[in-house]
A and B are shown apart, each in its own frame.
Chain A
Amino acid sequence: MEILAALLGLLGGLLAGLFGVGGGILFVPTLVLVLGLSQVHAEATSLLAILPAVIAGAWRQQRYGNVDWRAAVLVGLGSIAGVEGGVELAKALPEGVLRRLFAAFMLVVAASLAWRAFRTKPSYSSRGDSA
């Protein structure tokens, strides 16, 4: 189970690097379904697991000149205000409700990714690719 969890971590990181998303959305179900954590513990732990992945990813993107640091810091600072509300909401919801909400969130994300892929001919992340 530990090896499977580590492999899914690797996959989640790969998707995070490719799409700028996709770390946590795979970490949470991995922590729940593979390692047996509760939904709240999985969400908390996922946020910590995301850190090395996004720091490594941002460092690489920086080398390609793809980071607007002013925008990143402003978005990051704005998020700190929202985070506390999100934590309180997650803690207040019953476990089963939070888990179903998360599953619904996954399906919405899946639909939005499919929409993105079908709407744009070359996907958005390849736009402006001179290669």
Chain B
Amino acid sequence: MLRLLAIGLVAGVFSALFGVGGGIIIVPLLVAVGGLGGRRATGTSLAAISITAAAGAVAYGFHGDLKVGSAALIGLPAALGAVAGVTLQQRLQTRTLTIGFSLLLTAVGIRLLI
């Protein structure tokens, strides 16, 4: 129980600092420390992030940093995408996709640096 709370604590800092859900930290920690299987870790991560992201949005909201229209513009299509992604995950070998995703992040990361 303490392990799970500690995973959350670490993920919460990263989540709010970078505006991300923290799944990249939660998923491997749930596998390594929490003893969950891979797919169960991703499902559990999504559920945990709904609490993390809500807390982060509220905290930033108090500072007046939220752009609700932009959030809806991205978040509502993302909900459709997430449903499709979960459905695909049950059927696909994700190795090739993972490498593609990694390359995409590298390209965007470099674009943000320059």
Contacts and interface: CB of A to CB of B under 8 A. Distances in A.
B63 A12 contact: no
B112 A74 contact: no
Contacts of A57: 46, 82-83, 85-86
Nearest to B11: A79
Interface string A1-34: 0100111111111111111111111111111110
B8 A53 contact: no
B58 to A, nearest CB: 9
B103 A110 contact: yes
Given A9-B77, A75-B11, A58 B19 contact: no
Contacts of B68: 45, 48
Contacts of A116: 28, 98
A112 B109 contact: no
A26 B95 CA distance: 19
Interface in A52-102: 52-58, 60-62, 64, 66-69, 71-87, 89-91, 99-102
Given A80-B12, A124-B38, A17 B98 contact: no
A113 B12 contact: no
Contacts of B38: 123-128
A52 B61 CA distance: 17
A86 B82 CA distance: 26
Given A54-B21, A56-B82, A47 B57 contact: yes
B78 A86 contact: no
Given A55-B79, A75-B8, A45 B101 contact: no
Contacts of B48: 71-73, 75-76, 79
B102 A81 contact: no
Interface in B12-70: 12-24, 26-28, 30-31, 34, 36-57, 59-61, 63, 65-68, 70
Contact of A16 (B6, B36, B47, B78): B78
A66 B97 contact: no
